[in-house]
Amino acid sequence: MTRIVIDAMGSDEFPTPDVTGSVMAAREYGVEIILVGDESKIRPVLAAQNPGGLPIRIVHAPEMLTMEDKGEELAFKARHKDAKNSMAVGIDLVKKGEADAFVTAGNTGAGWLTALFRLGRVRGVDKPALAPVFPTASGSCVVLDIGANPDCKPENLLQFGIMGAIYAEKVRGVKNPKVGLVSNGEEEGKGNELVRAATPLLKSSGLNFYGNVEGKEVIGGKVDVAVTDGFTGNVMLKTAEAVGKLILDKVKSEIKNGGPLALLGGALVRPALGGVKSMLDPSEQGAAILLGVNGLVLIGHGRSDALAIKSAIRLAKQTFESGMLDSIRAGIEQSLKK
């Protein structure tokens, strides 16, 4: 049985969404759940879910990392060997082999740093990258990095391409995924210095390299993996989320204020709008996977609800059972020999 650690103190409304989503996942996916956090806060929420004989246990961690933790203080809390915060305790369970994956909806930077310090990097990976899945016209696209590494070197983008392609193939089920390099123009030679320097590395990598892609090609479904630095990727992510929400809100407003015919039309298109909303809903994916650390770590949004936590656990189970981590180790190792 796959064992998933949940940071029960992660979400903005902790521990209710974290615990509720975990119970839902244990019932539906047949996974063992380890809830890490303040036991006095977790236990009553868990009892209210009537977990019965589900394989769920609590590991007490009296402290937590928040958005207020920054700089040297955060680094100390993330790396100290006797750290008692829920992220450190949970990730240590993965490191010791007592769990197969760790899921948090807490501070993204804290999750990234704690995983990096406590698990270390896959050999040959300089900078682990966050890799969410964007909805596209033809399905989905893995985009990395989306914020962990605002400053990158060409070699980092090559590593992102290798890891993203393995993730797309092993977990997303995409055969020979097409890898694109995010740029401000499709033609080779376009882009900033980083993009131009990364192009020959990706072309000679053995990946199914599509070439440069603009944002519209990513959303248009031209590639299965889009590689970029964390600064650009984060802008893409936040813009895509905002545009998706704007469109849905505008459609709802026009229907509501458009009179009887608009309301009738809205009733007729409601099923279709529901499908679009589901496609754009971050809770359907649950979390972004952190690729490049020596263990499975998934980081969700602070606004995660129970469905998002449940979805993140499903993704964690899927990723562990796919053997993706071993494939990434082998893929990076092979790239070092070239």
| Digit-coded pLDDT (tens) for 173-204 | 999 999 999 999 888 888 999 999 999 999 99
Q: What does the pLDDT average to over 198-212?
A: 96
Residue 34 sits at the vertex; the CA angle it makes with 30 and 37, to the nearest 5 degrees, is 150
Q: What is the pLDDT of residue 148?
A: 87
pTM of the predicted protein model: 0.90
Of the candidate ranges 147-161, 215-229, 249-263, the one whose mean pLDDT is the lowest:
249-263
Residues 9 and 45: beta-carbon distance below 8 Å: no
State yes or no: cis peptide before 15, omega within 30 of 0: yes
State the span(s) of the chain assigned CATH 3.40.718.10: 3-129+285-330, 133-283
Question: Who wins on pLDDT, 247 or 1?
Answer: 1
Give me the residue label for tokens 């040297």: 72
Q: In a 3-state reduction of DSSP, which class is residue 239?
A: helix
Instruction: Give CA separation, 144 vs 220, 235, 256, in Å.
Output: 17, 12, 38
Residue 283 has pLDDT above 70, yes or no: no
Kindly state the tokens that stand for 62.
């009296």
Q: How confident is the model at residue 249 (pLDDT cuts 50, 70, 90)?
A: confident
Q: What is the pLDDT of residue 157?
A: 97
CATH superfamily of 3-129+285-330: Isopropylmalate Dehydrogenase (3.40.718.10)
Return the amino acid letter for 267.
A
Task: Name the CATH code of domain 133-283 (choices 3.40.47.10, 3.30.420.40, 3.40.50.720, 3.40.718.10).
Answer: 3.40.718.10
| Digit-coded pLDDT (tens) for 120-173 | 999 999 999 999 999 888 888 999 999 889 999 999 999 999 999 999 999 999
State yes or no: cis peptide before 38, omega within 30 of 0: no
Q: What is the pLDDT of residue 264?
A: 57
Q: What percent of the chain has pLDDT over 70?
A: 91
Q: How confident is the model at residue 235 (pLDDT cuts 50, 70, 90)?
A: very high
Q: How confident is the model at residue 27 (pLDDT cuts 50, 70, 90)?
A: very high
Question: Who wins on pLDDT, 261 or 60?
Answer: 60
Residue 279 has pLDDT above 60, yes or no: no
Q: How confident is the model at residue 239 (pLDDT cuts 50, 70, 90)?
A: confident
- Residue 187 gets which letter from DSSP? S
Of the candidate ranges 17-21, 46-50, 245-249, 324-328, the one whose mean pLDDT is the lowest:
245-249
**Cα–Cα distance, 215 to 182 (Å, whole number):** 7
Instruction: Give CA separation, 159 vs 12, 23, 77, 213, in Å.
Output: 32, 36, 28, 18
Q: What is the pLDDT of residue 129?
A: 96
Residue 278 has pLDDT above 70, yes or no: no
Nearest C-alpha neighbor of 84 from the set 36, 121, 43: 36
| Digit-coded pLDDT (tens) for 66-96 | 888 888 888 888 898 899 999 999 999 999 9
Kindly state the tokens that stand for 186.
């499709």
Q: What does the pLDDT average to over 261-272?
A: 57
Of the candidate ranges 82-91, 273-282, 294-303, the one whose mean pLDDT is the lowest:
273-282
